[in-house]
Chains A and B, each alone.
Chain A
């Protein structure tokens, strides 16, 4: 069986950045397995701009952002297999993949980086009542039809969910001549980035219905009509608040779910909130030698953050491969009051070289609040925040000194 130092599953933004980071550490025996016919992942269909402000200090389109990394990769010895699907992995890091050239192949990896990204939550998963005709897609599928295949899949459109892809598609469909009748959001606040609300909805006079959801879809062969209702605080539809729209298409932007089928099959521990693996400060999962980064770990707001996290993962994998990581599990890192989740979920202070970045999301919007980082009852750090929003990922940096004498574990919470 062929042996490889590091196999990266997924050649999107996370996989590419992790590979380059490993190369910088002198590790070149790397294989990227990509199921699509080209590298870049979902960036390839994101033809709008806004990518790269943090990484390259300029605004790029998705494909150009990917292209920067692909060009850098071409100067290395990293091997890439396209049209290649991983069928399964094992706890001792045997990977079975397939592609039309080689057929089904097994290889042995010293380390694996999971970089499979995420998928969109579907109509079925949220159980919208009504008929099941043509014309109902996740926003990402419609984006693929439009941007990669060059086909318009709707002329009168309603969008459920104010996730960023939904907002981007509201603008994109409008520019292609479709009429977008509205966007309904279950929560009393938007789930997309503020700049997308402004640039994709307000600039095009597309109404946003907060605290609303679709309660019925009509149409036998193709969508003909939808009904939305206002919802109460328990998200139940309120009677007599119906609004009816004659549309031929419904797009859903109701959340992204890390794509962890492979991870779950080998019983990598999955976090109930992030739906991604539990990882430590080195982005290692509960199975030694298997790491995770990017949207397969938790859903990020910006690709720049994915690249950053993957780069740090590459660094940690290089240390793992040179036996420079302390494999003792350290202390738990958890979410307290008001916090949805934190990443990482476990911290070994000995493995922190300069500082520890803790990423987290709050449960609900607030203004002028304080975030507390505690070790048991002891406050390690206080950070004031002017705005906190569940749709925006937050970051706290702890220095090596601040975590050197932890006794119980790190907990992040919103101060009362």
Chain B
């Protein structure tokens, strides 16, 4: 019997698991995928918005502002990348300037640092903006992160503080008596409380126990392009157009690893699992993105991706204990600014739970994650210290991003470590570069098979069923 079952291990589920791992309770996280951080956490704009955008009086507004402030310390404890690079909202017409002034007032009212800049001021730090831009709202507290890194590290830290993570456990039934029974495809778990952080599927999870539809969730697809490292950056800050009813619009976003994201689209779709890119979606981004920046180097595109945001019927986050089922907490409809709000959401859920269950702190709780070495960021002397200890830090596996075998082996053996090609890619980035794994994938596959003591045919790209190699070739059968 567990005290708490958390369903879903996106950034919200992982941060909640970590928040609860401070206390003397038993927590299990059930994840239907083969790794943590696979849904919306894996495919978003990777921005910690300042909090200027959500409407007054919403949870989104409150938690975004709080979340933004929390990221610095969260990322410090978890050893994650976080850069407060600032953002511009750029207006190109009188009507848009009016909108900009509304945002400016909203930001001021929320005590978010902000300034209105004229074209000349903007041009100084963003030389590539085009002639249409007339005014901009400067938001210095906007940050960028590596979203799944925060989720993975949170889960790693939670596990090291006693939380149990169960992968490949898709929840198919929930019943309630004195306690909750959660049926998955393979087994059954019991707990006194349930926290539902199932992303786009949170409504379906709740409906497993609740016959009345309190809320429902539709998926809104976001499609993106990723650009390779550029010699001169395209933009130095997050660039937003003036928002419309459809959302924040198509952005230009520098990433923590010197790539550039172009996107997203925002189209409602019927199939929540449809994370495919579409002709129409990619064309839409191509057409929109040029409205603020003159020359977009589309020849530097190295990847496209898409992800689905969970949009709730109330158009605000749903973070509450169910009115029908005691100790069933829904944390649903966490669309943008969900990433920016995530630490504040976790804190809110922690407080909700604590209100019902006064808890004791664990005496041996450790909020810190062991540092993950990024060799390419170190001096030559520091790098050689690592090579002295382990020669594998001298062997480059990923030539595009200069990642060593030592870093990959560490990512496999850490708590909540990588077991798949994509798992390694998410944690240490081989395959994120311009060759997209063309050169390093066979090498990473070798390392995974060796370290996990598996055959090469057993190594997966990602989820169960995503095996890469079928069988030995005829000519090698005799070996």
Contact = CB atoms under 8 A, between A and B. Distances in A.
A204 interface: no
Contact of B464 (A132, A221, A261): A221
Contact of A151 (B277, B438, B460, B469): B469
A154 interface: yes
Contact of A100 (B275, B387, B467): B387
Contacts of B279: 129, 215, 237
A399 interface: no
Interface in A249-304: 261, 264-265, 267
Contacts of A133: 461, 466
A150 B469 CA distance: 10
B463 A221 contact: yes
B460 to A, nearest CB: 7
Contacts of B209: none
A135 B465 CA distance: 11
A140 B463 CA distance: 25
Contacts of B471: 151-152
A104 B460 contact: no
B395 A122 contact: no
Contacts of B304: 124, 127, 129
B104 interface: no
Contacts of A151: 456-457, 469-473, 476
B282 interface: yes
A220 B271 CA distance: 13
Contacts of B276: 129-132, 216-218
A202 to B, nearest CB: 23
A120 B395 contact: no
Contacts of B305: 132
Contacts, number: 153
B387 A104 contact: yes
B399 interface: yes
Interface in A138-156: 138, 140-141, 144-146, 148-155
Nearest to A135: B468
Given A127-B301, A176-B473, A100 B399 contact: no
A146 B439 CA distance: 14
Contact of A152 (B402, B437, B472): B472
A383 B276 CA distance: 50
Contacts of B226: 124
B461 A123 contact: no
Given A131-B276, A141-B438, A125 B395 contact: no
Nearest to A257: B434
A134 interface: yes
A101 B301 contact: no
A43 to B, nearest CB: 16
Contacts of B465: 221-222
A129 B277 contact: yes
B387 A140 contact: no
Counting chain B CB atoms within 10 Å of each CB, the highest count among A101, A216, A218, A261 belongs to A261
B213 interface: no
A129 B392 CA distance: 37
A122 B473 contact: no
A100 B456 contact: no
Interface string A167-198: 00000000011000000000000000000000
Interface residues of B, number: 58
A106 B456 contact: no
Interface string A217-229: 1101110000000
B399 A35 contact: yes
A87 interface: yes
B388 A122 contact: no
Contacts of A123: 436
Interface in A367-385: none
A153 B468 contact: yes
Nearest to A218: B276
B391 A100 contact: yes
A154 B468 CA distance: 8
B110 interface: no
Given A99-B395, A130-B277, A138-B438, A122 B467 contact: no
Contacts of A120: 435, 438
Contacts of A26: none
Interface string A6-23: 000000000000000000
B438 A140 contact: yes
Contacts of A265: 231
A101 B391 CA distance: 7
A83 interface: yes
Interface in B250-307: 273, 275-279, 281-282, 301-305
B438 A98 contact: no
A149 B456 contact: yes
B316 to A, nearest CB: 31
Interface in A204-243: 215-218, 220-222, 237
A152 B470 contact: yes
Nearest to B225: A127
Interface string A101-133: 111101000000000000110111101011111
A137 B392 contact: no
B475 interface: yes
A96 interface: yes
Contacts of A130: 276-277
A141 B225 contact: no
A358 interface: no
Given A85-B399, A130-B276, A155 B470 contact: yes
Interface string A35-68: 1000000000000000000000000000000000
Contacts of A124: 226, 301-304, 436
B394 interface: yes
Nearest to B406: A100
Nearest to A178: B470
Interface in B46-86: none
Given A150-B472, A222-B466, A125 B301 contact: yes
A221 B391 contact: no
Contact of A153 (B380, B437, B438, B469): B469
B247 to A, nearest CB: 22
A100 B383 CA distance: 12
B233 interface: no
A215 B282 CA distance: 12
A176 B474 contact: yes
Contacts of A153: 468-470
21 contacts: A85-B396, A100-B395, A103-B393, A124-B304, A124-B436, A125-B436, A129-B304, A132-B275, A134-B467, A140-B438, A141-B438, A145-B442, A146-B473, A148-B442, A149-B456, A151-B456, A151-B457, A151-B476, A153-B468, A215-B279, A221-B461
Interface of B: 225-226, 231, 273, 275-279, 281-282, 301-305, 380, 383-384, 387-388, 391-396, 399-400, 402, 434-439, 441-442, 456-457, 460-476, 479
Given A103-B384, A127-B282, 12 more contacts: A35-B399, A98-B395, A122-B302, A124-B226, A125-B301, A129-B276, A137-B438, A141-B438, A148-B442, A151-B456, A221-B465, A265-B231
Interface of A: 35, 83, 85, 87, 96, 98-104, 106, 119-120, 122-125, 127, 129-135, 137-138, 140-141, 144-146, 148-155, 176-177, 215-218, 220-222, 237, 261, 264-265, 267
